[in-house]
Amino acid sequence: MGNGASSYRRFLDGDDTGIAEIVGDYKDGLILYLNGYVNNIYIAEDLTEDTFFRLITKKPRYSGKSTFKSWLYAIGRNVAVDYIRHNSKLLNTPIEDMETYLSEEQSLEQSYIKEESKIIAHRALAELSTEYRTVLWLVFFEEFSNKEAATVMKKSDRL
């Protein structure tokens, strides 16, 4: 069981923080994934909510045969397919609205990618020595220049 699976198990056992953790961990990625089906970020957000609502109300069984994330995304896919079947005539978006949708979709995607990069960096930083971890923290997360980071660490900014 991965982190999502343990959160889901806790939710099933009555701990509502488990579902909150799942939503926090998977919401953005699921929105982007479902947007690939419906090509409308607003509908994808609604379908993501419907996916989590299905988890909360129906409490489907997670067998552990796949990762929790792939299981959750399969549920989301089923929600999207159901939506498409029932609303296929509504998916035609007027051309003048596409520009707004595309810019908001790109912004959400960039935000998600940036957050994922930070998570990966946090994991990698934990493996480094204190000095290396500090300089990378200052430059990557605090957005210091190399010179500013060197000043904080009382180091030379020259190689």
**Residue 100 belongs to a domain:** no
**Residue 158 belongs to a domain:** no
Domain total of the chain:
1
Collapsed DSSP state (helix, strand, coil) of residue 86: helix
Contact 56, 140 (CB under 8 A): no
**Residue 112 belongs to a domain:** no
pLDDT, tens digit, for every residue of 53-62?
999 999 999 9
pTM for the full predicted model = 0.58
In the predicted model, is pLDDT for residue 98 greater than 70? no
**Residue 128 belongs to a domain:** no
Q: Which domain holds residue 52?
A: 3-93
In this prediction, residue 128 has a pLDDT band, given cuts at 50, 70 and 90, of: confident
Q: What is the identity of the amino acid at 125?
A: L
The CATH number of residue 36's host domain is 1.10.1740.10
**Residue 104 belongs to a domain:** no
